[in-house]
Chains A and B, each alone.
Chain A
């Protein structure tokens, strides 16, 4: 199909803008809180299209924002990561029991990290991982990267905190 544009993931640009100093993020807010984060490598973005380089950009952004010491990777990860079960239309296919059976492996992986937050830079992952936490009572939260970048910049508004837990609900307000 002919076209004149390039297709890029915004994750690459988040990383670029942080490196260029345009987004002056830091992890000071989490120095004492020590809240732990993990991330889901979205299959569509990592394994199926942009590969490990985008997974590295994702980790660069996350560690810049939450602190290196507060990031815990799942095992396996990057291109070798397991799908969360939200892809391929599974969320809309009308098989919720099967979808949650599928997602149990992801749930266990997240719980193993001990993280309070799972960063999910993909809509399907976000919805599925959120649902898994509620269904299996994992107690972790599922958030987009944009929420944490703005939190770290001290510019996250009051109405933009739907997916944050009580531990972060008031940080930087």
Chain B
């Protein structure tokens, strides 16, 4: 015996997925799902909030906009692209997720992410932990000075700041200068031994960008522009992304 027919009441809503498809190259292939399940079987977020990538896409296809836009699952997917990598139809579910995040009102987005984005916009350092240019320069020089004084073989160790024309512009996650500055030392030693021509910048040095995670395009772009300008202003050839 067949079960009761579910009326999806299609047509009554504007379908979120269609809007996203207009924005993605090739429409993100969002209409090509074969429901094979490779995405879901390889997704560590499968099962959270009773959802998985295939189900999420299916809900979007069925116009269940309110449900997909209100579930916290979009914040539990890390947009790691494992689903896209495994998908035989190359369906861009991560971009769908990104647009769902983008459509969350700013004041409803997870505070930790939103707050880190807002913090990064306060200084040209782009530090999500709020480190200023002065804090950053002080910590770097203070730690370097201590190494020069106490560690044999590193009496000439440098952690250059704003060195014009250096080949590498090195970025650094804020966690190091703010909470565990000694973790920067091994990296400096490696650069020292390799005789790398490198520099940090007082501006744009922070490696993180939480505005990308909350899909705030304007803030995301603003931060990337500050960072790119910092590298170009010093005339560096390579923006070296650290571990």
Contact = CB atoms under 8 A, between A and B. Distances in A.
A146 B48 contact: no
A13 B44 contact: no
B242 A92 contact: no
Given A5-B236, A103-B44, A146-B186, A87 B78 contact: yes
Interface in B183-232: 183, 185-187, 189-190, 193-196, 207-208, 210, 213-214, 221, 224-225, 228, 231-232
A3 B173 CA distance: 22
A90 B210 contact: no
A125 to B, nearest CB: 9
Interface stretch (A30-38, A66-74, A133-141, A151-159): A151-159
Interface stretch (B17-25, B27-35, B57-65, B111-119): B111-119
Contacts of B76: 90, 93, 95, 98-99, 102
A93 B112 contact: yes
| Chain B interface size range | 35 or more
A23 B224 CA distance: 32
A102 to B, nearest CB: 5
B208 A160 contact: no
A93 B243 contact: no
B18 to A, nearest CB: 25
Interface string A79-96: 111110111111111110
Contact of A162 (B85, B110, B183): B183
Given A47-B80, A89-B213, A144-B243, A106 B110 contact: no
Interface in B72-96: 72, 75-82, 85-86
Given A88-B78, A95-B72, A3 B175 contact: no
Contacts of A95: 72, 75-76, 110
Contacts, number: 177
B232 A4 contact: yes
Contacts of B148: none
Interface residues of A, number: 61
Nearest to B195: A22
A162 B180 contact: yes
A8 B183 contact: no
Interface string A108-126: 0000000000000111001
B189 A92 contact: no
B141 interface: no
Contacts of A126: 243
Nearest to A103: B44
B237 interface: yes
A118 B74 CA distance: 28
A89 B237 CA distance: 30
B78 A83 contact: yes
Contact of B190 (A23, A82, A90, A121): A23
A95 B44 CA distance: 15
B147 A144 contact: no
Contacts of B175: 123, 127
19 contacts: A5-B169, A10-B187, A45-B241, A87-B80, A88-B78, A88-B213, A89-B112, A90-B75, A91-B112, A94-B110, A98-B48, A102-B44, A102-B48, A104-B44, A122-B243, A123-B175, A146-B187, A157-B185, A162-B183
Interface of B: 42, 44-45, 47-49, 72, 75-82, 85-86, 110-113, 116, 147, 151, 153-154, 169-170, 173, 175, 180, 182-183, 185-187, 189-190, 193-196, 207-208, 210, 213-214, 221, 224-225, 228, 231-232, 235-243
Top 4 A-B pairs ranked by shortest CB distance?
A92-B112, A89-B213, A83-B80, A88-B78
